[in-house]
Amino acid sequence: MATLLVKNATLLVTMDDEDHCWADGGIYVVDNRIEAIGPVADLPETAGRVIDAAGMVILPGLVNTHHHFYQTLTRNVPGTQDAVLFQWLVTLYPLWARLTPEAVYISSKIAIAELMLSGCTTSSDHTYIWPNGARLDDQIQAAQEMSFRFHAARGSMSVGESQGGLPPDSVVEDEAAILADSRRVIEQYHDADRYAMTRIVLAPCSPFSVSQDLMRESLALARSYGVHSHTHLAETRDEESYCLANFGRRPVELAEDLGWMGADVWHAHMVHPSAEEAKRLGASRTGVAHCPSSNMRLASGIAPVPGLLGAGARVGLGVDGSASNDSSHMLAEARQALLLHRVMGDPAGLTARQALRLATRGGAAVLGRDDIGALAPGMAADFIGYRLDTLGLAGGAVHDALAALVFCHPPQVDLSVINGRVRVEDGMLLDVDLPPLIARHNALARALVRGERA
Ligand SMILES: [Zn+2]
Protein backbone atom coordinates (compact mmCIF):
# COMPACT_ATOMS: atom_id res chain seq x y z
CA MET A 1 0.00 0.00 0.00
CA ALA A 2 1.51 3.36 -1.07
CA THR A 3 0.55 6.48 0.87
CA LEU A 4 1.01 10.12 -0.08
CA LEU A 5 0.34 13.19 2.06
CA VAL A 6 0.12 16.62 0.45
CA LYS A 7 -0.05 19.18 3.26
CA ASN A 8 -0.10 22.88 4.09
CA ALA A 9 -1.72 24.03 0.85
CA THR A 10 -2.38 27.76 1.10
CA LEU A 11 -5.78 27.06 -0.41
CA LEU A 12 -7.33 23.67 -1.15
CA VAL A 13 -10.30 23.80 -3.54
CA THR A 14 -12.39 20.63 -3.83
CA MET A 15 -15.13 21.49 -6.38
CA ASP A 16 -17.26 19.00 -4.41
CA ASP A 17 -21.02 19.39 -4.12
CA GLU A 18 -20.68 21.77 -1.17
CA ASP A 19 -17.74 23.56 -2.75
CA HIS A 20 -15.51 22.96 0.27
CA CYS A 21 -12.34 25.03 0.38
CA TRP A 22 -9.75 25.00 3.15
CA ALA A 23 -6.85 27.24 4.01
CA ASP A 24 -3.91 25.15 5.22
CA GLY A 25 -5.49 22.07 3.66
CA GLY A 26 -4.19 18.68 2.78
CA ILE A 27 -4.94 15.42 1.00
CA TYR A 28 -4.09 11.92 2.19
CA VAL A 29 -3.87 9.38 -0.64
CA VAL A 30 -3.78 5.59 -0.45
CA ASP A 31 -2.61 4.01 -3.69
CA ASN A 32 -4.67 5.76 -6.39
CA ARG A 33 -7.56 7.16 -4.34
CA ILE A 34 -8.17 9.96 -1.87
CA GLU A 35 -8.55 8.52 1.61
CA ALA A 36 -8.97 11.78 3.54
CA ILE A 37 -9.05 15.50 2.76
CA GLY A 38 -9.44 18.65 4.83
CA PRO A 39 -7.55 20.82 7.29
CA VAL A 40 -4.07 19.43 7.87
CA ALA A 41 -4.83 19.06 11.58
CA ASP A 42 -7.47 16.43 10.75
CA LEU A 43 -5.22 14.28 8.52
CA PRO A 44 -2.61 11.61 9.32
CA GLU A 45 0.65 13.27 10.30
CA THR A 46 2.84 11.43 7.87
CA ALA A 47 2.85 9.03 4.92
CA GLY A 48 5.20 7.06 2.72
CA ARG A 49 5.68 10.24 0.70
CA VAL A 50 5.04 13.78 1.98
CA ILE A 51 4.82 16.90 -0.20
CA ASP A 52 4.71 20.34 1.36
CA ALA A 53 2.27 22.47 -0.68
CA ALA A 54 2.81 25.68 1.27
CA GLY A 55 2.41 28.62 -1.10
CA MET A 56 0.21 26.65 -3.52
CA VAL A 57 -3.41 26.49 -4.47
CA ILE A 58 -4.48 22.87 -4.95
CA LEU A 59 -7.48 21.91 -7.06
CA PRO A 60 -8.83 18.89 -8.96
CA GLY A 61 -6.96 18.01 -12.12
CA LEU A 62 -8.43 19.66 -15.22
CA VAL A 63 -10.36 17.51 -17.69
CA ASN A 64 -10.06 18.16 -21.41
CA THR A 65 -13.03 16.94 -23.46
CA HIS A 66 -11.91 17.54 -27.05
CA HIS A 67 -8.55 17.42 -28.79
CA HIS A 68 -6.77 16.11 -31.89
CA PHE A 69 -3.31 15.34 -30.56
CA TYR A 70 -1.81 14.73 -34.01
CA GLN A 71 -2.46 18.34 -34.96
CA THR A 72 0.48 19.53 -32.84
CA LEU A 73 2.43 18.65 -36.01
CA THR A 74 0.52 21.23 -38.06
CA ARG A 75 0.14 24.18 -35.74
CA ASN A 76 0.25 27.56 -37.31
CA VAL A 77 0.71 26.32 -40.89
CA PRO A 78 0.82 29.58 -42.88
CA GLY A 79 -1.95 28.64 -45.35
CA THR A 80 -4.36 27.97 -42.48
CA GLN A 81 -3.73 30.97 -40.32
CA ASP A 82 -6.62 33.03 -41.59
CA ALA A 83 -9.06 30.41 -42.90
CA VAL A 84 -12.55 29.33 -41.82
CA LEU A 85 -13.10 25.68 -40.89
CA PHE A 86 -13.84 24.16 -44.32
CA GLN A 87 -10.93 25.93 -46.02
CA TRP A 88 -8.69 25.12 -43.05
CA LEU A 89 -9.60 21.43 -43.34
CA VAL A 90 -9.15 21.26 -47.11
CA THR A 91 -5.67 22.75 -46.72
CA LEU A 92 -4.68 20.33 -43.96
CA TYR A 93 -6.17 17.00 -45.12
CA PRO A 94 -3.37 16.35 -47.66
CA LEU A 95 -0.73 17.04 -45.01
CA TRP A 96 -2.41 14.75 -42.49
CA ALA A 97 -2.56 12.04 -45.17
CA ARG A 98 1.21 11.67 -44.60
CA LEU A 99 0.88 10.82 -40.89
CA THR A 100 2.76 7.73 -39.75
CA PRO A 101 2.48 5.58 -36.63
CA GLU A 102 5.53 7.35 -35.22
CA ALA A 103 4.04 10.77 -35.96
CA VAL A 104 0.83 9.84 -34.14
CA TYR A 105 2.81 8.47 -31.17
CA ILE A 106 5.22 11.40 -30.86
CA SER A 107 2.54 14.08 -31.37
CA SER A 108 0.41 12.40 -28.71
CA LYS A 109 3.32 12.62 -26.28
CA ILE A 110 3.83 16.29 -27.10
CA ALA A 111 0.14 17.11 -26.63
CA ILE A 112 -0.06 15.14 -23.39
CA ALA A 113 3.08 16.81 -22.02
CA GLU A 114 1.66 20.23 -22.78
CA LEU A 115 -1.70 19.31 -21.27
CA MET A 116 -0.11 17.89 -18.12
CA LEU A 117 2.05 20.93 -17.53
CA SER A 118 -1.00 23.17 -17.89
CA GLY A 119 -2.95 21.28 -15.21
CA CYS A 120 -4.81 18.66 -17.21
CA THR A 121 -4.87 15.17 -15.72
CA THR A 122 -7.47 13.54 -18.01
CA SER A 123 -8.09 14.09 -21.70
CA SER A 124 -10.05 12.68 -24.53
CA ASP A 125 -8.55 12.69 -28.01
CA HIS A 126 -10.38 12.47 -31.29
CA THR A 127 -8.12 11.33 -34.12
CA TYR A 128 -10.14 10.57 -37.25
CA ILE A 129 -7.47 10.00 -39.87
CA TRP A 130 -5.41 6.81 -39.83
CA PRO A 131 -3.14 6.66 -42.87
CA ASN A 132 -0.02 4.59 -43.42
CA GLY A 133 -0.69 2.07 -40.67
CA ALA A 134 -1.30 4.57 -37.85
CA ARG A 135 -3.59 3.15 -35.15
CA LEU A 136 -5.31 4.18 -31.94
CA ASP A 137 -2.83 1.87 -30.21
CA ASP A 138 -0.04 4.40 -30.97
CA GLN A 139 -1.84 7.02 -28.87
CA ILE A 140 -2.77 4.67 -26.06
CA GLN A 141 0.87 3.60 -25.80
CA ALA A 142 1.91 7.27 -25.46
CA ALA A 143 -0.66 7.95 -22.73
CA GLN A 144 0.16 4.79 -20.82
CA GLU A 145 3.89 5.52 -20.91
CA MET A 146 3.18 8.96 -19.46
CA SER A 147 0.70 7.67 -16.81
CA PHE A 148 -1.97 10.01 -18.15
CA ARG A 149 -5.71 9.31 -17.82
CA PHE A 150 -6.98 8.94 -21.38
CA HIS A 151 -10.30 8.57 -23.17
CA ALA A 152 -9.15 7.52 -26.63
CA ALA A 153 -11.77 8.23 -29.28
CA ARG A 154 -11.56 5.99 -32.33
CA GLY A 155 -12.42 8.67 -34.89
CA SER A 156 -13.19 8.00 -38.52
CA MET A 157 -14.07 9.47 -41.91
CA SER A 158 -15.83 7.46 -44.61
CA VAL A 159 -17.34 9.91 -47.13
CA GLY A 160 -14.77 11.39 -49.47
CA GLU A 161 -15.07 14.09 -52.08
CA SER A 162 -16.35 11.73 -54.78
CA GLN A 163 -19.31 10.87 -52.53
CA GLY A 164 -20.08 14.50 -51.69
CA GLY A 165 -17.96 14.71 -48.53
CA LEU A 166 -15.31 17.30 -47.71
CA PRO A 167 -12.16 15.15 -47.27
CA PRO A 168 -10.22 13.75 -50.23
CA ASP A 169 -10.99 10.10 -51.01
CA SER A 170 -7.41 9.16 -50.10
CA VAL A 171 -7.96 9.76 -46.38
CA VAL A 172 -11.33 8.07 -45.81
CA GLU A 173 -11.75 4.49 -44.59
CA ASP A 174 -14.10 1.67 -45.48
CA GLU A 175 -17.04 1.59 -43.04
CA ALA A 176 -16.82 -2.13 -42.31
CA ALA A 177 -13.14 -1.69 -41.48
CA ILE A 178 -13.94 1.25 -39.18
CA LEU A 179 -16.50 -0.76 -37.26
CA ALA A 180 -14.24 -3.81 -37.05
CA ASP A 181 -11.36 -1.74 -35.69
CA SER A 182 -13.73 0.02 -33.28
CA ARG A 183 -14.76 -3.35 -31.90
CA ARG A 184 -11.12 -4.45 -31.69
CA VAL A 185 -9.97 -1.43 -29.66
CA ILE A 186 -12.94 -1.63 -27.29
CA GLU A 187 -12.23 -5.28 -26.59
CA GLN A 188 -8.51 -4.71 -26.25
CA TYR A 189 -8.41 -1.52 -24.19
CA HIS A 190 -11.72 -0.30 -22.74
CA ASP A 191 -11.73 -0.31 -18.94
CA ALA A 192 -15.19 0.34 -17.49
CA ASP A 193 -14.02 0.14 -13.87
CA ARG A 194 -13.80 3.03 -11.44
CA TYR A 195 -10.43 4.82 -11.65
CA ALA A 196 -9.92 3.54 -15.21
CA MET A 197 -6.87 5.03 -16.89
CA THR A 198 -7.93 4.03 -20.42
CA ARG A 199 -11.38 4.20 -21.91
CA ILE A 200 -12.44 3.92 -25.53
CA VAL A 201 -14.91 6.24 -27.27
CA LEU A 202 -16.34 5.82 -30.78
CA ALA A 203 -16.22 9.02 -32.80
CA PRO A 204 -17.23 9.35 -36.47
CA CYS A 205 -15.84 12.76 -37.41
CA SER A 206 -18.63 15.06 -38.61
CA PRO A 207 -21.79 15.23 -40.74
CA PHE A 208 -19.72 16.20 -43.78
CA SER A 209 -17.25 13.30 -43.60
CA VAL A 210 -19.21 10.18 -42.57
CA SER A 211 -22.46 8.55 -43.67
CA GLN A 212 -25.66 8.41 -41.66
CA ASP A 213 -25.33 4.61 -41.72
CA LEU A 214 -21.96 4.79 -40.02
CA MET A 215 -23.33 7.21 -37.41
CA ARG A 216 -26.13 4.78 -36.58
CA GLU A 217 -24.01 1.63 -36.60
CA SER A 218 -21.18 3.21 -34.62
CA LEU A 219 -23.64 4.39 -31.96
CA ALA A 220 -25.26 0.96 -31.75
CA LEU A 221 -21.85 -0.70 -31.42
CA ALA A 222 -20.80 1.76 -28.70
CA ARG A 223 -24.03 1.20 -26.77
CA SER A 224 -23.68 -2.57 -27.02
CA TYR A 225 -20.39 -2.25 -25.10
CA GLY A 226 -21.43 0.63 -22.82
CA VAL A 227 -18.86 3.01 -24.32
CA HIS A 228 -19.52 6.66 -25.09
CA SER A 229 -19.87 8.33 -28.49
CA HIS A 230 -18.49 11.63 -29.68
CA THR A 231 -18.54 13.77 -32.83
CA HIS A 232 -18.29 17.36 -34.07
CA LEU A 233 -21.64 19.11 -34.34
CA ALA A 234 -23.11 22.54 -35.04
CA GLU A 235 -19.64 24.04 -35.27
CA THR A 236 -20.09 26.46 -38.18
CA ARG A 237 -22.73 28.05 -40.38
CA ASP A 238 -21.12 26.21 -43.34
CA GLU A 239 -21.89 22.90 -41.64
CA GLU A 240 -25.47 24.00 -41.05
CA SER A 241 -25.84 24.84 -44.75
CA TYR A 242 -24.29 21.50 -45.71
CA CYS A 243 -26.71 19.59 -43.48
CA LEU A 244 -29.74 21.50 -44.76
CA ALA A 245 -28.66 20.96 -48.39
CA ASN A 246 -27.73 17.27 -48.05
CA PHE A 247 -30.06 15.98 -45.35
CA GLY A 248 -32.85 18.56 -45.13
CA ARG A 249 -32.09 18.87 -41.43
CA ARG A 250 -30.20 21.22 -39.17
CA PRO A 251 -27.23 19.56 -37.43
CA VAL A 252 -28.98 18.98 -34.10
CA GLU A 253 -32.08 17.66 -35.88
CA LEU A 254 -29.83 15.26 -37.77
CA ALA A 255 -28.26 14.08 -34.50
CA GLU A 256 -31.71 13.52 -33.03
CA ASP A 257 -32.79 11.49 -36.07
CA LEU A 258 -29.68 9.33 -35.72
CA GLY A 259 -30.13 8.80 -31.98
CA TRP A 260 -27.03 10.85 -31.18
CA MET A 261 -28.42 12.41 -28.00
CA GLY A 262 -28.24 11.33 -24.39
CA ALA A 263 -26.01 10.77 -21.39
CA ASP A 264 -23.54 8.63 -23.36
CA VAL A 265 -23.04 11.14 -26.21
CA TRP A 266 -21.11 14.38 -26.37
CA HIS A 267 -20.68 16.82 -29.22
CA ALA A 268 -17.72 19.10 -29.82
CA HIS A 269 -18.44 22.81 -30.32
CA MET A 270 -22.25 23.18 -30.44
CA VAL A 271 -21.83 26.80 -31.49
CA HIS A 272 -25.09 27.11 -33.42
CA PRO A 273 -27.98 25.27 -31.77
CA SER A 274 -31.27 27.16 -31.77
CA ALA A 275 -32.77 27.99 -28.37
CA GLU A 276 -35.20 25.09 -28.79
CA GLU A 277 -32.41 22.71 -29.77
CA ALA A 278 -30.41 23.78 -26.71
CA LYS A 279 -33.39 22.84 -24.55
CA ARG A 280 -33.61 19.42 -26.14
CA LEU A 281 -29.86 18.87 -25.70
CA GLY A 282 -30.33 19.74 -22.04
CA ALA A 283 -33.41 17.60 -21.52
CA SER A 284 -31.59 14.58 -22.95
CA ARG A 285 -28.46 15.30 -20.82
CA THR A 286 -26.35 15.37 -23.97
CA GLY A 287 -22.77 16.53 -23.46
CA VAL A 288 -21.01 19.47 -25.10
CA ALA A 289 -17.29 20.14 -25.40
CA HIS A 290 -17.00 23.92 -25.47
CA CYS A 291 -13.87 25.00 -27.36
CA PRO A 292 -13.63 28.79 -27.09
CA SER A 293 -10.13 29.27 -28.53
CA SER A 294 -10.85 27.20 -31.61
CA ASN A 295 -14.21 28.89 -32.16
CA MET A 296 -12.53 32.31 -32.05
CA ARG A 297 -9.53 31.18 -34.09
CA LEU A 298 -11.72 29.89 -36.95
CA ALA A 299 -14.32 32.67 -36.62
CA SER A 300 -16.98 30.01 -35.96
CA GLY A 301 -18.98 31.99 -33.41
CA ILE A 302 -19.86 31.89 -29.71
CA ALA A 303 -21.45 28.75 -28.25
CA PRO A 304 -24.49 29.53 -26.05
CA VAL A 305 -22.92 27.97 -22.96
CA PRO A 306 -25.10 29.70 -20.34
CA GLY A 307 -28.21 28.57 -22.26
CA LEU A 308 -26.94 25.00 -22.60
CA LEU A 309 -26.07 24.83 -18.90
CA GLY A 310 -29.41 26.35 -17.96
CA ALA A 311 -31.17 23.70 -20.03
CA GLY A 312 -29.33 20.91 -18.21
CA ALA A 313 -26.73 19.92 -20.80
CA ARG A 314 -23.44 18.53 -19.53
CA VAL A 315 -20.79 21.07 -20.58
CA GLY A 316 -17.01 20.82 -20.33
CA LEU A 317 -14.10 22.57 -21.98
CA GLY A 318 -11.90 21.40 -24.83
CA VAL A 319 -8.70 22.89 -26.17
CA ASP A 320 -9.64 21.33 -29.55
CA GLY A 321 -6.97 20.27 -31.99
CA SER A 322 -3.65 21.94 -31.84
CA ALA A 323 -4.01 23.26 -35.38
CA SER A 324 -6.96 25.45 -34.43
CA ASN A 325 -5.97 26.72 -31.00
CA ASP A 326 -2.87 26.36 -31.44
CA SER A 327 -2.10 25.30 -27.92
CA SER A 328 -2.96 22.54 -25.47
CA HIS A 329 -3.03 24.77 -22.37
CA MET A 330 -6.10 23.67 -20.46
CA LEU A 331 -6.05 26.42 -17.86
CA ALA A 332 -5.72 29.00 -20.63
CA GLU A 333 -8.85 27.49 -22.18
CA ALA A 334 -10.77 28.22 -18.98
CA ARG A 335 -9.57 31.81 -19.25
CA GLN A 336 -10.69 31.99 -22.89
CA ALA A 337 -14.14 30.76 -21.86
CA LEU A 338 -14.33 33.42 -19.17
CA LEU A 339 -13.40 36.16 -21.62
CA LEU A 340 -15.50 34.95 -24.56
CA HIS A 341 -18.75 34.93 -22.60
CA ARG A 342 -18.21 38.54 -21.59
CA VAL A 343 -17.35 39.95 -24.99
CA MET A 344 -20.94 40.62 -26.05
CA GLY A 345 -21.64 42.84 -23.06
CA ASP A 346 -22.20 40.81 -19.89
CA PRO A 347 -19.31 41.39 -17.44
CA ALA A 348 -20.46 38.40 -15.36
CA GLY A 349 -21.29 36.20 -18.36
CA LEU A 350 -19.01 33.53 -16.93
CA THR A 351 -17.26 33.92 -13.58
CA ALA A 352 -13.81 32.59 -12.75
CA ARG A 353 -15.31 29.91 -10.51
CA GLN A 354 -17.79 28.88 -13.20
CA ALA A 355 -14.99 28.64 -15.77
CA LEU A 356 -12.88 26.47 -13.45
CA ARG A 357 -15.89 24.33 -12.60
CA LEU A 358 -16.45 23.70 -16.32
CA ALA A 359 -12.78 22.69 -16.59
CA THR A 360 -13.09 20.16 -13.73
CA ARG A 361 -16.57 18.91 -12.76
CA GLY A 362 -18.00 19.85 -16.15
CA GLY A 363 -15.38 17.90 -18.07
CA ALA A 364 -15.75 14.86 -15.82
CA ALA A 365 -19.52 14.87 -16.40
CA VAL A 366 -19.03 15.15 -20.16
CA LEU A 367 -16.73 12.10 -20.14
CA GLY A 368 -19.26 10.24 -18.00
CA ARG A 369 -17.10 9.97 -14.88
CA ASP A 370 -17.98 10.41 -11.24
CA ASP A 371 -14.53 9.52 -9.91
CA ILE A 372 -12.62 12.60 -11.17
CA GLY A 373 -13.27 16.35 -11.38
CA ALA A 374 -13.71 16.88 -7.64
CA LEU A 375 -11.66 16.08 -4.54
CA ALA A 376 -13.31 13.99 -1.83
CA PRO A 377 -12.72 10.67 -0.07
CA GLY A 378 -13.19 7.86 -2.57
CA MET A 379 -12.37 10.01 -5.60
CA ALA A 380 -9.36 9.31 -7.81
CA ALA A 381 -6.19 11.02 -6.61
CA ASP A 382 -5.97 13.45 -9.54
CA PHE A 383 -5.02 16.94 -8.38
CA ILE A 384 -2.79 19.83 -9.31
CA GLY A 385 -1.01 22.67 -7.58
CA TYR A 386 0.03 26.11 -8.76
CA ARG A 387 2.51 28.26 -6.85
CA LEU A 388 1.02 31.61 -5.88
CA ASP A 389 4.22 33.60 -5.39
CA THR A 390 5.04 33.94 -9.08
CA LEU A 391 5.50 37.03 -11.21
CA GLY A 392 2.36 36.39 -13.23
CA LEU A 393 0.15 36.10 -10.14
CA ALA A 394 1.84 38.90 -8.16
CA GLY A 395 -0.73 41.25 -6.72
CA GLY A 396 -3.58 38.99 -7.86
CA ALA A 397 -3.39 35.73 -5.93
CA VAL A 398 -3.14 37.60 -2.63
CA HIS A 399 -6.72 38.81 -3.12
CA ASP A 400 -8.34 35.65 -4.51
CA ALA A 401 -5.98 32.74 -5.13
CA LEU A 402 -8.45 30.68 -7.14
CA ALA A 403 -9.78 33.38 -9.46
CA ALA A 404 -6.22 34.62 -10.07
CA LEU A 405 -5.53 31.42 -12.03
CA VAL A 406 -7.79 32.62 -14.86
CA PHE A 407 -7.87 36.40 -14.40
CA CYS A 408 -4.08 36.63 -14.43
CA HIS A 409 -1.90 35.01 -17.08
CA PRO A 410 -2.58 31.25 -16.76
CA PRO A 411 0.48 29.60 -15.19
CA GLN A 412 1.86 26.10 -15.63
CA VAL A 413 1.47 23.67 -12.76
CA ASP A 414 4.12 23.13 -10.14
CA LEU A 415 2.55 19.87 -8.95
CA SER A 416 0.43 17.27 -10.71
CA VAL A 417 -0.69 13.96 -9.27
CA ILE A 418 -2.52 11.50 -11.52
CA ASN A 419 -4.03 8.32 -10.13
CA GLY A 420 -1.93 8.76 -7.01
CA ARG A 421 1.37 9.14 -8.89
CA VAL A 422 3.33 12.38 -8.85
CA ARG A 423 3.76 13.34 -12.51
CA VAL A 424 4.88 16.98 -12.19
CA GLU A 425 7.01 18.23 -9.32
CA ASP A 426 8.59 21.68 -8.95
CA GLY A 427 7.18 22.47 -12.38
CA MET A 428 9.09 19.61 -14.04
CA LEU A 429 7.42 16.74 -15.88
CA LEU A 430 8.81 13.53 -14.35
CA ASP A 431 10.16 10.62 -16.41
CA VAL A 432 9.90 12.52 -19.72
CA ASP A 433 12.95 13.91 -21.48
CA LEU A 434 11.32 16.80 -23.31
CA PRO A 435 14.15 18.26 -25.46
CA PRO A 436 14.72 15.14 -27.63
CA LEU A 437 10.97 14.59 -27.83
CA ILE A 438 10.44 18.13 -29.09
CA ALA A 439 13.35 17.81 -31.54
CA ARG A 440 11.91 14.63 -33.06
CA HIS A 441 8.44 16.13 -33.15
CA ASN A 442 9.74 19.18 -34.99
CA ALA A 443 11.57 17.01 -37.53
CA LEU A 444 8.35 15.07 -38.14
CA ALA A 445 6.34 18.29 -38.41
CA ARG A 446 8.71 19.76 -40.99
CA ALA A 447 8.70 16.56 -43.03
CA LEU A 448 4.93 16.31 -42.91
CA VAL A 449 4.39 19.79 -44.31
CA ARG A 450 7.18 19.52 -46.90
CA GLY A 451 6.23 16.02 -48.02
CA GLU A 452 9.62 14.60 -47.10
CA ARG A 453 10.72 11.60 -45.08
CA ALA A 454 11.76 12.39 -41.52
ZN1 LIG B 1 -12.28 19.11 -33.22
Chain segment 214-233, per-residue pLDDT in tens: 999 999 999 999 999 999 99
d(CA 32, CA 4): 10
Chain segment 405-426, per-residue pLDDT in tens: 999 999 999 999 999 999 999 9
Confidence tier at 324 by pLDDT (50, 70, 90): very high
* Mean per-residue pLDDT over the chain, rounded: 97
Nearest to 25 by CA among 35, 44, 38, 43: 38
Q: How far apart are the first and last CA of the chain?
A: 45
Distance 298 CA to ligand 1 centre (A): 11
Distance 214 CA to ligand 1 centre (A): 19
- Write down the pLDDT at residue 323: 87
Distance 12 CA to ligand 1 centre (A): 33
Whole-number percent of the chain with pLDDT over 70: 100
Chain segment 86-116, per-residue pLDDT in tens: 999 999 999 999 999 999 999 999 999 999 9
Contact between 251 and 207 (Cβ < 8 Å): yes
Whole-number percent of the chain with pLDDT over 90: 99
Ion ligand 1 nearby residues (CB, 5 A): 268, 320
Mean local confidence (pLDDT), 324-331? 95
- Write down the pLDDT at residue 322: 82
Confidence tier at 449 by pLDDT (50, 70, 90): very high
Distance 233 CA to ligand 1 centre (A): 9
d(CA 435, CA 159): 39
Distance 289 CA to ligand 1 centre (A): 9
Chain segment 368-416, per-residue pLDDT in tens: 999 999 999 999 999 999 999 999 999 999 999 999 999 999 999 999 9
Mean local confidence (pLDDT), 191-201? 98
Distance 438 CA to ligand 1 centre (A): 23
d(CA 228, CA 366): 10
Distance 17 CA to ligand 1 centre (A): 30
332 residue type, one letter: A
Distance 194 CA to ligand 1 centre (A): 27
Distance 165 CA to ligand 1 centre (A): 17
Asked if pLDDT for residue 454 goes beyond 90, the answer is no
Distance 68 CA to ligand 1 centre (A): 6
Distances in Å between the Cα of 190 and the Cα atoms of 39, 194, 197, 205, 216 are 37, 12, 9, 20, 21
